[in-house]
Amino acid sequence: MKRPPFDPSKTAASRRTGLFARQNPPGEPPAAVPDAGGGGGLPPGSPAESPPPERALSVSDLAERIDAALRTGTPSKVRVLGEVSGFKDRTHWYFDLKDAEAVVSCVMFAGAARKASATAAPPGGRWTPENGQAVVVTGRVEFYAKSGRVSFIVERIEPVGAGALDLAFRRLCDELRALGWFDVGRKRPLPSFPRRVAVVTSRTGAALQDVLVTMRRRCPAVGVLVVDARVQGEGAAPEVARAIDEVSARAAELGVDAVLVTRGGGSKEDLWAFNEREVARAIVACSVPVAAAIGHETDTTIAELVADERCATPTQAAMRLTPDASALASQVDSASRRLWDLLRRRLALESQRLASLARHPAIADPGHAVDAASARLRAGEAALHAAMRERLGDDALRAVRAGAAIERLRPGALLARSIARLDSLARRLDAAPASKVASARERLARSADRLARVMPAALARDRSRTDAVERHLGAVSPLRVLERGFSITTDADGRVVRDPSAVKRGDVIDTRVAMGEIRSRVEGTAPGDATTPAAARPDTPTRRKPSPRHPAGNPSEPPSLFGPG
């Protein structure tokens, strides 16, 4: 639109309204405007006489009028679409918002900038606009008088187009990463020999043809189940998610061992259905492993990040899911040859071992081994019998000797030996001359008389000593002490407790009484009377010094019946 020429009449004070309208103060005459030549005004009545000019505005007045005009001429909040240029982050954000025809300077103060950064950034991150990024800003227009510039004060900024998609992609990636959906440990290996593969894609897409051709070429035995679903546009994401859920629910029924989610290349907007959360959820929840090949090798989608296997292209995915039949045949042939070689070597080795065993004496002549074993058995039996006879003979000899010793020590045996000696003396006397007979008879009479007197007394004395020893043993026997009401206490190791300090609270002790034992636990201890005589202590009975059985001579010999000499 062409700009109209300047009309001086519109500057008359009587017609002045609008942006630069200003009333002079009361009583102030209109300001005079000198002519171009520097002289005074035209004389009155001149044909070129113009209305009297108004007073000149100050710069501050002009700035105020510009600011007021901007405030009243524009809405309080304006949304503007443009491209970021010259972005500077200096606590406040400074940048230009431009399109093909105009540029507007923008300022976003620190508080609003922090809020916008936190809102648009992924959790824990920080977002700032980038030069060339398309954004929609919301704010107001202000005139800054000191610099004479008009600026747009931004209160809110939102990326649009690819920038908004990138922001949404990063946000969802961070959310799913926090849930562990990208973890390598969660992902499952693809089956080496799948029975059937479900391909979720558009039936009319080129990606499906690439997959079918590759799978038929590599291994026709693997079945393919095509699940038709829209792969771009509105409603594509729910349709893909439903298809994956249906295959997952009926995988066993359909014989499906793996799922391939794929489509061909396209723009970021075309591939966006595979960046939706519901598709990622369906892939993670699928009951069989899922491979994903979306777009070209340079494209990255969330569906590929959560899938068990990410493939660069649909063809690569088909190769990854399908074994190569020719390679398998070669492997089978190679394995068959190795197996036959192993069998031949094993048969040869076992034949050698069998021949070696056949030459062994135990196999070649079994009777020889039996005879040798029988001979060893007989020799062992004879040695055992000899050892038993020798041991029994030694024991019998010791028993006879012990019996003889006991027999010699009995009083009856002593008396018999004495009588034998007397008989010997009598025979000697009978053989002696008559001169010695009388003397011998006299000595014999005295000896017999003495023997008659001494022997009962000796026997009575020995019996008395035996009874005394028996009574003493009974008196000092621990059992007799226990019968009198005493007891013996031992600790857990069986040691006799003589001092209360030998045990502590909680120890288990055993107390022996006349009729049995008592087990108890120590609740406390107290010192006893140290002056208690040892004879009163049940565990330390008084020992009496035994009196000698024989006052003199060898105690093992009985008293002489005939006196000394």
pLDDT in tens, 506-532: 889 999 887 888 999 998 888 765 554
Residues 245 and 290: their CA atoms lie apart, in Å, by 12
| Phi, psi dihedrals of residue 149, rounded to the nearest 5° | -120, 145
pLDDT at 274: 92
pLDDT at 33: 39
Q: What does the pLDDT read at residue 161?
A: 65
Confidence at residue 259, expressed as pLDDT on a 0 to 100 scale: 95
Does the pLDDT at position 547 exceed 70? no
Q: How confident is the model at residue 262 (pLDDT cuts 50, 70, 90)?
A: very high
| Distance (Å, whole) CA 182 – CA 306 | 5
Query: Which one-letter DSSP state was computed for residue 121?
Result: S
How many whole angstroms separate alpha carbon 330 and alpha carbon 300?
A: 36
> Taking a C-beta distance cutoff of 8 angstroms, is the pair 165, 272 a contact?
yes
Six-digit token string for 244: 């994956």
| C-alpha to C-alpha distance for 248 and 245, rounded to whole angstroms | 5
Q: Identify the pLDDT of residue 125.
A: 63
Residue that is written with structure tokens 């909680």 in the block: 506
pLDDT recorded at residue 90: 87
Q: What is the pLDDT of residue 549?
A: 47
- Highest mean pLDDT out of 224-238, 355-369, 410-424, 488-502: 224-238
How wide is the angle at C-alpha 388 spanned by C-alphas 386 and 391, nearest 5°? Answer: 110
Tokens representing 451 are 């023997």
- The whole-angstrom separation of Cα 58 and Cα 145 is 12
pLDDT in tens, 297-332: 888 899 999 999 999 899 999 999 988 878 778 888
Section 407-435 average pLDDT: 76
On whether the CB atoms of residues 191 and 291 are closer than 8 A, the answer is no
Query: What is the per-residue pLDDT for 75?
Result: 85
* Contact indicator for 190, 258 with CB cutoff of 8 Å: yes
- Averaged over 455-470, what is the pLDDT? 84
Question: How do residues 105-124 score in pLDDT, each as one tens digit?
Answer: 999 999 998 888 877 665 56
- How far apart CA 552 and CA 563 sit, in angstroms, is 13
Is pLDDT larger for residue 6 or for residue 112?
112
Tell me the average pLDDT across 385-403: 82
- Contact by Cβ (8 Å): 157, 118: no
- Sign of the CA dihedral with 472 first, then 474, 477, and 483 last: negative
Q: Which residues of 340-363 are buried (b: 16+ CB within 10 A; e: fewer)?
A: eeeeeeeeeeeeeeeeeeeeeeee
**pLDDT band per the 50, 70, 90 thresholds, residue 432:** low
Token duo for residue 186? 């969660």
More confident residue, 11 or 199: 199
Q: What is the pLDDT of residue 551?
A: 44
Q: What's the average model confidence in pLDDT over 199-223? A: 91
CA distance 109 to 92: 5
pLDDT score at 189: 93
Tokens of 316: 């690569």
For 158-179, the pLDDT digits (tens) are 887 656 677 778 888 888 899 9
Question: Which of 192, 259, 186, 191 lies closest to 224 in space, CA to CA?
Answer: 259
Residue 330, C-beta contacts closer than 8 angstroms, at least 6 positions apart: none
- Here the tokens at position 142 are 């202000």
Higher model confidence: residue 349 or residue 26? 349
- If you average pLDDT over every residue of the chain, what do you get? 79
- The whole-number pLDDT of residue 327 equals 78
Q: How confident is the model at residue 544 (pLDDT cuts 50, 70, 90)?
A: very low
Pick from 204, 296, 331, 308: nearest CA to 260: 308
* Better-predicted residue by pLDDT, 565 or 250: 250
Strand (E) or helix (H) holding 262: strand 258-263
